[in-house]
Chains A and B, each alone.
Chain A
Amino acid sequence: MSANKWLATGNFFTTYKQEQRTFLTNLDQSFFTLFLVLLFGWPLLFELSNKSMLVIDNILIAIVAVMGLNLVTGFAGLISIGHAAFVGIGAYTVASFCRTIGDSHIIITHFWPLLIIFSGFMGAIFGAIVGLPALRLKHLYLAIATLSFQMIFQWVINFMSFFNQGQTIFVGRVFWFTGKVGRKDHYVFWYFVILTVVVILGFGIRNLLKTRYGRSLIAVRDNDRAADAMGMNPGLTKVYAFALSGFFAGVAGALHAYLYRGVGFESFTLHESIGYLAMAIVGGLGTLNGCFWGPVAIKFLDLQVESLAELAGQYLPSSMNLATALKPFTFGLVIVLFLMFEPRGIANWWRIAKSYTKKWPFRY
């Protein structure tokens, strides 16, 4: 690498290790560090309303879930339309503990980080099981297999009394070193927790993609027979892609359970699965930063359309229910427009913007 560690211009790699660096230049690293400091620091300086914090926390949880979906669908090319069910597995793992030992048990309230990780592993186990058909199935057929998991999940939750037939199962308030996290600090506290999870898992994916396990995901997506011929194990790769995706989803589900202090069936329906898929598509399938753009874009769009539908609901005749149609219509339209005009998602806009600045100051 050249002597100038601050600018990308004129840089070249002389070893594989250099190419594997997380940050190509010190400038990248500095910007990223500053960005992280800002993300962690702003709630200490500005007080947002609980509602706004809830929206932000919700977006961060969606980011964790979409990271998982992007691993299996974006990087490994295995379509999954039952992702909300995997998120639900994580949430209902926490809920199961609450039902069994009580929602204010020390395991729920004090050992919540372990429970979140455990929920991730439960998601991974279910992910691996659902991933087994991927050994035999591809494309549409695999999509149907994941859809069937979604249906089974919904049926089980909706009918089993252990899961309160889908009605809310309460989760107790957690404790931190400063004591019980009360209502006032609840959303800010979980902002920090979820953001930490996002950063850790984000780096996890970034590093995974630089390993042979990560590269094998992409190789299997591009051509599984060629990957097989190159000595990779496509079957194992597919199953572990599902397992890994399930882990992310499980963690997201557990975070959701703690954030909302309850687990209800309606947060993990097929509609939510389609929502996650839309976030992955709009953000950019097979890109890490797409996992951030997608949830932000879709959730904000949701909020805006909600307000519009609410306004329209007051003026449009209720019998025609046009206001109700507004949200799914906009949602569908955005996905179609992205698929038609920007299939690489918002991540591609980011790539273009970045490549422009990367050449600075020598554009030509």
Chain B
Amino acid sequence: MKNKNVLFLNALLVLAVMFAFTATANAGGKVYKLGMSLAITGPTSDAGNPYAKGTEDYFKFVNETKMLGDDTIDCTIRDDQYKTDITKRNFEEYLDDGIVMYLNYSTGSTLGLKRDFEEEKIAVLPASYHAGNLDDSNYIFLPVASYSEQLVALSEYVVKNHKGEGKAKVAMFIHPSAFGRGPVDDAKKAVAAGLNMEIVEVVEHGKDLDNSAMLKRLMSKDVQYVLSHTVQSPVATMLKDSARLGLTAGSYGEAGKLTFLGVHYTGGNDLIALAGDACKGYVWTCSFNLTSEKNEGTTKQLALAKKYGRDDKAANSHNYAAGIMVAQVATEAIKRAKDAGLEINKENLYKTLNGMNGKNSYSPYTTIGPVTYSETDRAGVDALQIYSVQDGAFKKVGEPIQSEYMTKIK
């Protein structure tokens, strides 16, 4: 009899615990569904992996700290292996699930699904900052300045800080795809619009393990600056070869040597890990705060990573920061729509994002400037920070900049 009572009490206890869990999980609150598709495996997964972790952690944090009251965000994150076909499948699945906002990743899939985003009238935050995403598109919101803007701003930086006589002679080292080529056209337009720089050669890299011939060719053409727009590993190979051949400038713009610069996906801690000492002096532009330059934002980023047990590599990655940032923007849009008494749906979130400007701009702790969107401006953070590798870490160089020529060539 006693055993039966104990059994009965245990069963009651289990039921009570189960009830308590389900009750606390979402006590009368609404669940807002979001979807994210990105490369957790396959090409560029070295960037996609921390990016996914950043997004996942921030949404967990939002739900746990009740940032939206009793309401919660349910963001499903799926691997697309950097393939547009799989991204499309994931996107269809999310639509079936009734998502209110979509977070995408690659340039190819963002361009490929542009029509679907228009038809579905759903706001999209991609990890691709390709300017072409904004052509004939109303629903894609770039988190930060486009690659074109970054490359043109970097070109302007080269011109302003050029050491030596005459025009700055520049070579572009780019990814052999539309992702790599797109910004080069804009840099050429900037030159045509009066930017005092000569683009001597545009090199589309392959899967070369040695860049000696290319570097010597650039030297023979008196190239002084190499601007990269690709991913980290080919840049690391080039930097190592240049260092081995003694071609790397000891200081910025040293005459007769090569100074290397690059935009968003060419830099970060992974580049330092791959290139080691060879990346000393490498100049990089990015719109995110880096943990090598401590501030309130990076402290929060590291605390978030620690809270959810992320390793140092992920915690210090700018891709982790970028993942957090898109989650922050999505959360902020939901929060603002909710505060305005609007129903949380695709249409209202789109409107809310478009109203994120002026005094309503949003400053996430992960970026160096505020996020501003409007009907005519769909690039979030316009400011760019120049960083340079010093003592094995990226350090700030001056104040954030913005491209002047982009407005001229648009």
A residues less than 8 Å from B115 (CB atoms): 170, 261-262
Q: What DSSP secondary structure best describes chain B's contact surface?
A: helix
B residues less than 8 Å from A183 (CB atoms): 119-120
In the assembled complex, the Cα of A266 lies from the Cα of B120 at a distance in Å of 24
- B178 located at the interface, meaning its Cβ lies under 8 Å from any Cβ of chain A in the complex: yes
Number of A-B pairs, beta carbon distance below 8 Å: 96
A residues less than 8 Å from B178 (CB atoms): 164-167
- Please name the residue on chain B nearest to A49 by beta carbon: B96
Instruction: Kindly identify, within residues 108 to 165 of chain A, every residue whose CB is under 8 Å from any CB belonging to chain B.
Output: 158, 164-165
* Contact pattern, B 165-182, Cβ under 8 Å of A = 1, otherwise 0: 000000000001110010
Contact in complex: B45, A54 (CB < 8 Å):
no
Instruction: Kindly identify, within residues 37 to 59 of chain B, every residue whose CB is under 8 Å from any CB belonging to chain A.
Output: 40-42, 45-46, 49-50
| Given known contacts A49-B93, A165-B177, A309-B79, A326 and B88 CB-to-CB distance under 8 angstroms | no
Contact in complex: B92, A313 (CB < 8 Å):
no
Contact in complex: A54, B41 (CB < 8 Å):
no
Instruction: Kindly identify, within residues 58 to 94 of chain B, every residue whose CB is under 8 Å from any CB belonging to chain A.
Output: 78-79, 81, 83-86, 88-90, 92-93
In the assembled complex, the Cα of A168 lies from the Cα of B109 at a distance in Å of 8
Instruction: Count residues on chain B whose CB falls below 8 Å from chain A CBs.
Output: 38
A residues less than 8 Å from B46 (CB atoms): 318-319, 321
Contact in complex: A51, B45 (CB < 8 Å):
no
Instruction: Kindly identify, within residues 232 to 287 of chain A, every residue whose CB is under 8 Å from any CB belonging to chain B.
Output: 260-262, 264, 266-267
Q: Pick the contact of A306 from B49, B79, B95 — CB < 8 Å?
A: B79
- A55 located at the interface, meaning its Cβ lies under 8 Å from any Cβ of chain B in the complex: yes
Q: Pick the contact of B81 from A167, A262, A327 — CB < 8 Å?
A: A327
Contact in complex: A310, B40 (CB < 8 Å):
yes
- B304 located at the interface, meaning its Cβ lies under 8 Å from any Cβ of chain A in the complex: no
- B355 located at the interface, meaning its Cβ lies under 8 Å from any Cβ of chain A in the complex: no
- A50 located at the interface, meaning its Cβ lies under 8 Å from any Cβ of chain B in the complex: yes
- B400 located at the interface, meaning its Cβ lies under 8 Å from any Cβ of chain A in the complex: no
B residues less than 8 Å from A170 (CB atoms): 114-115
Contact in complex: B96, A313 (CB < 8 Å):
no
Contact in complex: B84, A50 (CB < 8 Å):
no
Contact in complex: A309, B41 (CB < 8 Å):
yes
| Given known contacts A168-B84, A260-B88, A321 and B41 CB-to-CB distance under 8 angstroms | yes
B residues less than 8 Å from A313 (CB atoms): 40-41, 45, 49, 79
In the assembled complex, the Cα of A306 lies from the Cα of B39 at a distance in Å of 12
Least CB distance, B154 to chain A, in whole angstroms:
23
Instruction: Count residues on chain A whose CB falls below 8 Å from chain B CBs.
Output: 34
In the assembled complex, the Cα of A321 lies from the Cα of B233 at a distance in Å of 15
B residues less than 8 Å from A310 (CB atoms): 40-41, 78-79
Contact in complex: A50, B92 (CB < 8 Å):
yes
Contact in complex: A167, B111 (CB < 8 Å):
yes
In the assembled complex, the Cα of A166 lies from the Cα of B176 at a distance in Å of 11
- A323 located at the interface, meaning its Cβ lies under 8 Å from any Cβ of chain B in the complex: yes
In the assembled complex, the Cα of A314 lies from the Cα of B79 at a distance in Å of 10
A residues less than 8 Å from B93 (CB atoms): 49-51
Q: List 26 A-B contacts (CB under 8 A).
A: A50-B93, A51-B90, A51-B93, A54-B92, A55-B89, A158-B176, A166-B177, A166-B178, A167-B111, A167-B132, A168-B84, A168-B108, A260-B88, A266-B85, A309-B79, A313-B40, A313-B49, A318-B49, A319-B313, A321-B41, A321-B45, A321-B46, A324-B42, A324-B45, A324-B81, A327-B42
Binding site for B on A (CB under 8 A): 49-51, 54-55, 58, 158, 164-168, 170, 183, 187, 260-262, 264, 266-267, 306, 309-310, 313-314, 317-319, 321, 323-324, 326-327
